[in-house]
Amino acid sequence: MSLSSPRFSILHSFLIMLCCSVITAKSVAQSNTNDSIPNRKWWKEAVVYQIYPRSFKDANGDGIGDLKGIISKLDYIKSLGVTAVWLNPIYSSPNDDNGYDVSDYRNIMSDFGTMADFDALLKGMHDRGIKLVMDLVVNHSSDEHEWFQQSRSSRTSPYREYYHWWPAENGKPPYRYSLFDVNHDAWMYDKTTNAYYLHYFSRKQPDLNWENPKLRQEIYDMMKYWADKGIDGFRMDAFQFARKDTTWPTFPKGYEKNFGQYYYMVPGLHGYLQEMNREVLSKYDLMTVAEGAGNTYEDAHDMVDADRHELDMAYAFDGIDVAKSTGYSVLKFKQVFSKWDSVFAEKGWLSIFLANHDQARLVSRFGNDRPEFRALSSKMLSTFLMTMRGTPYYYNGDELGMNNPGFTKIEQYRDKATLNEYQYQQNHGADMPAYLKEIAFSSRDNGRTPFQWDDSKNAGFTNGTPWIEVNPDYKTINAAAQEKDPNSCLNYFRKLTKLRKDNLALVYGKYTLLDKNNPNVYAYTRELSGKKVLVMLNFTGKTAAVSTPFGSSNANPLLCNYGDSAKTVKTELRPYEAVVYLLN
């Protein structure tokens, strides 16, 4: 979701909605310098692997991924070299939005298993040194949550103020745009109490009323319940929407084209975060990241400035928003990432990501998924993600270079946001073939097809009928085949996680952009305690020149996605080439 300034591509997505062998990673000698790194934290050094449980591995043959499935793959996850897992929501849910509509925050979705499965999963991760970050969906609940059932039952219910209601005798409420509603209308009339309730997302996702201290306390208690179980962090879903101006002013006509200016981080939100920090976060060693980073760099920075005691790291969408179905500018991409890095150069911390469960596949969107370039460009992008400052969030399946499935019919889609928007477009006379083309690029379902384990039926994801079609390319693109190939994307990714782990310069080191105006190549150094790592990435399918202050001086090659090891700094890169050197 695009929750940061000043673009809103989740909205867009919804609306239009070698290779390489690898040179052994050498570590920057750092043993005697680590002590001098200020504010070292496990979550800064983590590589977070995002698992979409519904599509990862189905253990019981019902076609839906589950916790036992994840447990069966823990050794695989460990083998990647990742150190933390972010799990999309696994709480009880009627699945209007695949778990982002929670009906019981203290239970496990029946599709996914039981609390005993959860406990086993958490233990299995911790036994392997992997931390677990849970999704926390508290901007809204499901309409099937007990609180909402009570709230809608009567105007005098003690739960009434857990949600936002507008009495119908006051006329129609001022228009609020909804991201998922089939009419884009966030107010839903409910006849039991003759009132409208607010839902920024789907009708089955009523917004919780954070103004109500009782509601906030319920949430904090629930967070403690999970923290006491021993989880290691929270990813806070859509949290920058949590605060509303409950005087309900009328917004200017057409505001929905820029709704973030009105919806994100309404004054008072930082106060909620500080209270949450006091009540819960400060009492545990929890890592926290909120989806979205506000409308301004200041907002983003304030949210994760350690002195303010709010959250740990910002998750900004400007970078991911650069790429559209029409392509993107590498110069713009470099500018955006360089700017965000500069904002956090002294204080605060950033997430680095280019894909997640709300986006197209990494290689289809930012690379080139044609057969001759798929693996190369996928490795190049992974090299970027693993060599920037900030904590990398890496989406499951990207380590195989999985790509968009190329759906051509609306029947192939499952995502409510996509289906409702399709309906909306149809109702408004849009060019539907063009819309279908657009969603083949941008729909969230592109990133949600089942994980491709092997070349057996359904890619080894399930013995049953998968809830969403498997990408037909699984016969060639799958984990089992890549295990056997030392030059596969999978094995390259393992080299990358090791490279990052062995070189703290890649985590904490100063970032310096080189060859700034080069429209094809992204080159930068990362520098810590006198050790300098040089990264050069060709973002195009053509040979490209690159000019750095190092000319063609001697250097130690650490990694190259073509598998060779030039001992001098290159001045020309092959198509989608990625090289990493230790300078000195």
Task: Catalogue the active-site residues.
Answer: 237, 291
Cα separation of 203 and 139, whole Å? 14
Residue 95 or 478 with smaller CB distance to ligand GLC:
95
Residue 62 or 473 with smaller CB distance to Ca ion:
62
The single-letter code of the amino acid at 70 is I
Does position 291 interact with ligand GLC (CB under 6 A)? The reply is yes
Residue 435 or 467 with smaller CB distance to Ca ion:
467
Between 432-442 and 416-427, two packed helices, what is the crossing angle to 10 degrees? 160
From ligand GLC, Ca ion, none, which one binds at residue 577 (CB under 5 to 8 Å depending on kind)? Answer: none
Cα separation of 524 and 527, whole Å? 10
From Ca ion, ligand GLC, none, which one binds at residue 100 (CB under 5 to 8 Å depending on kind)? Answer: ligand GLC
Residue 58 or 97 with smaller CB distance to ligand GLC:
97
Cα separation of 234 and 223, whole Å? 9
Does position 62 interact with Ca ion (CB under 5 A)? The reply is yes
Give the shortest CB-17-to-ligand GLC separation in angstroms.
12
Does position 256 interact with ligand GLC (CB under 6 A)? The reply is no
User: Which one of residues 8, 48, 58, 134 is an interface residue with Ca ion (CB under 5 A)?
Assistant: 58
Give the shortest CB-201-to-ligand GLC separation in angstroms.
5
Residue 54 or 152 with smaller CB distance to Ca ion:
54
Does position 60 interact with Ca ion (CB under 5 A)? The reply is yes
Cα separation of 559 and 18, whole Å? 13
Measured from each CB, the residue nearest to Ca ion is 66
The interface region with Ca ion, picked from 19-27, 53-61, 289-297, 367-375 by CB under 5 A, is 53-61
Residue 166 or 200 with smaller CB distance to ligand GLC:
200
User: Which one of residues 25, 85, 137, 265 is an interface residue with ligand GLC (CB under 6 A)?
Assistant: 137
Neighbours of 112 (CB within 10 A): 25
Q: Footprint of ligand GLC on residues 163-222 (CB under 6 A)?
A: 201
The single-letter code of the amino acid at 34 is N
Q: Footprint of Ca ion on residues 65-94 (CB under 5 A)?
A: 66
Token pair of 148 as six digits: 């909402």
Q: Do residues 559 and 496 lie in contact, with contact meaning Cβ atoms separated by under 8 Å? A: yes
The interface region with Ca ion, picked from 51-59, 92-100, 327-335, 437-445 by CB under 5 A, is 51-59
From Ca ion, ligand GLC, none, which one binds at residue 62 (CB under 5 to 8 Å depending on kind)? Answer: Ca ion
Cα separation of 270 and 297, whole Å? 14
The single-letter code of the amino acid at 47 is V
Residue 97 or 399 with smaller CB distance to ligand GLC:
97
Give the shortest CB-1-to-ligand GLC separation in angstroms.
4
Give the DSSP letter string of 277-332. Answer: HHHTGGGS--EEEEE--BSSHHHHHHHH-GGG-S-SEEE--HHHHT-BTTB--HHH
Cα separation of 438 and 434, whole Å? 6
State whether the Cα torsion 473-478-484-487 is positive or negative.
Answer: positive
Size, binding site for ligand GLC by CB under 6 A: 10
Q: Do residues 265 and 294 lie in contact, with contact meaning Cβ atoms separated by under 8 Å? A: yes
Residue 210 or 493 with smaller CB distance to ligand GLC:
210
Among 279, 467, 489, CA closest to 374: 489
User: Which one of residues 16, 64, 304, 479 is an interface residue with Ca ion (CB under 5 A)?
Assistant: 64
From Ca ion, ligand GLC, none, which one binds at residue 66 (CB under 5 to 8 Å depending on kind)? Answer: Ca ion
Q: Is 314 exposed, middle or buried (0-12, 13-18, 19+ CB in 10 A)?
A: buried
Q: Is 241 exposed, middle or buried (0-12, 13-18, 19+ CB in 10 A)?
A: buried
Cα separation of 434 and 467, whole Å? 26
Does position 1 interact with ligand GLC (CB under 6 A)? The reply is yes
Q: Is 565 exposed, middle or buried (0-12, 13-18, 19+ CB in 10 A)?
A: middle
Does position 97 interact with ligand GLC (CB under 6 A)? The reply is yes
Does position 100 interact with ligand GLC (CB under 6 A)? The reply is yes
User: Which one of residues 82, 134, 238, 276 is an interface residue with ligand GLC (CB under 6 A)?
Assistant: 238
Binding positions for Ca ion, rule: CB under 5 A: 58, 60, 62, 64, 66
Binding positions for ligand GLC, rule: CB under 6 A: 1, 97, 100, 137, 201, 237-238, 291, 357-358
